[in-house]
A and B are shown apart, each in its own frame.
Chain A
């Protein structure tokens, strides 16, 4: 049955890849045609850590995650096909999840590749240095955040038949606002409630993944005062719990 999800993921990745390619092309055209080329040898552009790009690319994974997270829920109209196969419903659900996580990884890779190509084409590559350990941390954290986003949308939509896409779209507003209001001047008690709720916000776990969000010691700013590896593990743990719950809810519902 994962064949259906493979086709869906393929379609999402095709359009996502095409959009990324379009963005890359426009960016490069903008650089060359406006003559506002980057001063590759100038002092205005200091040495950057390439791993920052690994962090930023996570949004590719998140976009693909939100595009796919409602798909198991969307199967409520095709129960007669999907639940009449000689496989347990849990096994079917987990195969869907496996396909989706692979597609999220591909979405991540597409954006990372587009950014790297853009950096190389604009002649900025000599200004980047590679920090393998930090790149790995950001990759683990980024994929954890995307998987957490996927899991939370899946579990929220598991019993809301036909509303998977809406829940996925709404998740952007909820998580962005949730992360934003944390800095709002509110009474202490409300602030603590907001911080507590942000433990279920993938953006809070991700923190500031750009170079400006990096501490001198290599840490990354986040409203959650944990080191990046702890945040990566936390995000993956929440993702796993949410995905297990969503597959359970989906496979035990009535049609």
Chain B
């Protein structure tokens, strides 16, 4: 479990992370989304102790971060941190020597999965292969906590799917996973929770199904004119276009659909919203309208 409370990090005049609180239970995959510069990577840096938070607290399985935390934590950075002059096998040797739980068989299996040649120098690997090596280094000690910053960056679609499957398997085995990605479809497929950051703050967070449910829209079409909607307009956001009305149902889609029916709507549809819609709504600062 990862518990973040009131995390704040300021770089001179820039508030990079602003009072971030987030709880990710064991066995859960949480997707951290946000535009570039939203504060995702800084949040990761604060979580891992790479940057000192100005305030707030982070706990892993109830304990604060110590060097020993890394015996059960795997991290994949945004840009693969590898030694270009060292071979893939030498990188695995680092893991073998420094991680008590290193599983050589698992490392070999992952090398085969990602089709990496152990004798190849890291500098000679493609971007996707470097990402794959960074992933292997993060996974060979069977971590119970995984923090991944763009873990599928540069990978081809087949390997992206492999990575997501590995993460889903790890979560099924009880691992807690925090993953950031610009590829919303990946988060949509793998994550059961999501947190969306904007300007250093978390603006939306929760269980993905609940967020989807809460964001459903009811669209009603009337014959000639839209009748008086009564209290509905005060209760929720309502958009009118010609003889159609769209109501953001705030988790009460079925009840709202029934109310439209009672008002004489000729057609009523309940529209599911994608994670991408949720994301775009959450990060919309009005500049792109």
Contacts of A89 in B (CB 8 A): 67
Pick the residue among B50, B75, B86 that contacts A254 (CB under 8 A): B50
B98 touches A85 (CB 8 A): yes
| A interface, CB within 8 angstroms of B | 1, 3-4, 7, 77-81, 83-89, 91, 254-255
Contact of B98 among A78, A87, A254 (CB under 8 A): A87
Q: How far is the CB of A43 from chain B (nearest CB, A)?
A: 54
Which residues of chain B have C-beta atoms less than 8 A from A254's C-beta? 45, 50-52
Given contacts A1-B94, A85-B98, contact A78 B73 (CB under 8 A): no
Q: Decide: B73 and A84 in contact? CB cutoff 8 A.
A: yes
Does B50 lie within 8 Å of A81, measured CB to CB?
no
A248 to B147, CA, bound (A): 27
Task: Point out the residues of chain A lying under 8 angstroms from B75, CB to CB.
Answer: 80, 84
Min CB gap A28→B, angstroms:
33
Q: How far is the CB of A193 from chain B (nearest CB, A)?
A: 36
Are B45 and A255 within 8 A (Cβ)?
yes
List residues of chain B with CB under 8 Å of any chain A CB. 45, 48-52, 67-71, 73-77, 81-83, 86, 90, 93-94, 97-100, 134, 137
**Bound-state Cα–Cα, A7 to B68, Å:** 25
Question: A84–B48 contact, CB under 8 A?
Answer: yes
Contact A86 B67 (CB under 8 A): yes
Task: Tell me if A7 and B98 are in contact (CB < 8 A).
Answer: no
Query: Beyond A86-B70, A86-B99, A87-B67, is A81–B137 a contact (Cβ under 8 Å)?
Result: yes
Contact A81 B68 (CB under 8 A): no
**Nearest-Cβ distance from residue A224 to partner chain B, whole angstroms:** 40
**Taking the nearest CB of chain A, how far is it from the CB of B186, in angstroms?**
20
| Residue pair A4, B52 in contact (C-beta under 8 Å) | no
Report if A86-B90 is in contact (Cβ < 8 Å); known contacts: A4-B83, A254-B50. Answer: no
> What is the CB-to-nearest-CB distance from A86 to chain B, in angstroms, rounded to a whole number?
4
Assembled-state Cα–Cα distance A84/B50 (Å): 9
Can you list 18 residue pairs at the A/B interface with Cβ under 8 Å?
A1-B97, A3-B90, A3-B94, A3-B98, A77-B81, A79-B50, A80-B81, A83-B49, A83-B50, A84-B75, A85-B98, A86-B68, A86-B70, A88-B67, A89-B67, A254-B45, A254-B51, A255-B51
Pair A78/B82 contact, Cβ less than 8 Å = yes
CB distance from A74 to the nearest CB of B (A): 10
